[in-house]
Amino acid sequence: MVLRREPTARQLRLATELRRLRDAAGLSAREAAALIGASRVQISHIESGVAGVSEQRLRRLAAHYACADAEFVDALAALAADRTRGWWEEYRGLLPTSFLDLSELEYHSAFRWDVDFLHVPGLLQTEDYARALFSRRVPELPRGELELRVRHRMERRVILEQAEPVPYEVLLHEAALRIRVGGRAASRTQLDRILELSEAGHVTVRVIPFELDDFADVTAAMVYAGGPVPKLDTVVRDGPHGVLFIDSEAQLGVFRTLFRRVEGASLDPARSRDLIHRLAKEL
C-alpha cells in the first residue's frame, strides 16, 4: 500500500465519510478490517486519507456498515476511483495547499455559491484586481509568488468558461462593489467584468444593497461547493489560522439556510445589474 505524503481535501473528505459510516455502524477499526480481510492499520490509513481504497473494497465496507443510501455510496465510489490530475497540480509545492484544494473542489463541484461582503469573489476578479489584493498581504509576498497567485486565480476561471460550465451564483454586498481596489480605472474594469459575466446563463449575480434593513446578523461570507449528492457538499471559509473546509451535515444545513436568507434579501439579477451599471458610471 503506497502512502500519500499530503492527501488532498477531496481525499480527506472520502476518508472522513468512511470513518463516519463506520462510527454510525458502531464498529471498531479492527472489526471493520476483519470484514474485508485487511489490517487495522490499513483501515486507519484509509480513514486518515494517507492511503486510497478500491471501489470494490469501499462498496464492501459500505455494505457491512449497513449504508442503504445507494446514491451516496455511488458518489463515494466515484471519489475513490478518481485519479484526476488537474491543471492545479503544476502549482504543488509553489503555492499553499489550500489554493490547490479549492481549485480541485470547485473543478469537481456540481454548482458553486459565493457570498462576500468586502471583496469581489476570486472567480469574478480581473487580473489587476487580484494583483492589487495580493500586493496588500502582510508580510509582503515575494514578487514571484505574487504573480503565481495571480496566474493561479485567473486559471480557476476555467470552471465558468469550459464547454459545460459550473452553475455559479454570487451574493455580493454593495460595499464590495464600492471599495476601490487597484485604483479608479481597475475598479471600473472590475465592475465591467462582473456585468459581462452576469449576462451568461450559468452565472447569477445578486447585490445586497446598503439600504437593506435588519441585515447586520447575516454576515457569513462563504464559498459553497455542491457535491454529487448533498451529503458531499462543502463550505470553504477563511479562518484566523487559515482556510477551513466544513463538511458536517449540521453545519452544511446552517450555511444552506444562511445562503437562502441572504439570497432572499438581495436584489434580483436585473436590478443588481442596474446598480452595478450605476456604480461603474460613477467611476
158 and 248 housed in the same domain: yes
278 found inside a domain: yes
129 and 56 housed in the same domain: no
67 and 115 housed in the same domain: no
pLDDT of 275 > 90? The answer is yes
pLDDT tens by residue, 127-154: 999 999 999 988 999 999 999 999 999 9
pLDDT tens by residue, 218-243: 666 899 999 999 999 999 998 767 88
pLDDT above 70 coverage of the chain, percent: 97
pLDDT tens by residue, 72-124: 999 999 999 998 889 999 999 999 999 999 999 999 999 999 999 999 999 99
150 and 19 housed in the same domain: no
- Note down the domain range covering 258: 92-282
Q: What is the pLDDT of residue 212?
A: 81
54 and 172 housed in the same domain: no
75 and 198 housed in the same domain: no
Domain final residue pick, 81, 106, 121: 81
205: left (phi over 0), alpha (psi -120 to 50) or beta: beta
Q: What is the pLDDT of residue 214?
A: 65
137 found inside a domain: yes
Residue 101 and residue 89 in contact, taking contact as beta carbons nearer than 8 Å: no
pLDDT tens by residue, 53-86: 999 999 999 999 999 999 999 999 999 999 888 9
Domain final residue pick, 55, 81, 107: 81
Q: Which of 189, 141, 194 is nearest to 168 (CA)?
A: 194
Q: Based on the structure, what is the number of domains in the chain?
A: 2
Angle at alpha carbon of residue 140, lines to 136 and 144, rounded to 5°? 105
Calculate the CA 45 to chain-centre distance.
25
pLDDT tens by residue, 4-38: 888 999 999 999 999 999 999 999 999 999 999 99
* C-alpha cell belonging to residue 5: 505524503
What is the CATH classification number for the domain harbouring 13? 1.10.260.40
Q: How far apart are CA 33 and CA 41, in angstroms?
A: 8
pLDDT tens by residue, 241-267: 788 999 999 999 999 999 999 999 899
Q: Which of 172, 52, 49, 161 is nearest to 107 (CA)?
A: 161
278 and 163 housed in the same domain: yes
167 and 221 housed in the same domain: yes
Q: What is the pLDDT of residue 270?
A: 98
168 and 272 housed in the same domain: yes
Q: What is the pLDDT of residue 70?
A: 97
33 and 154 housed in the same domain: no
Q: What is the pLDDT of residue 122?
A: 96
Task: Record the pTM.
Answer: 0.94
Q: Sort strands 222-225 and 234-239 into parallel, antiparallel or unpaired.
A: antiparallel
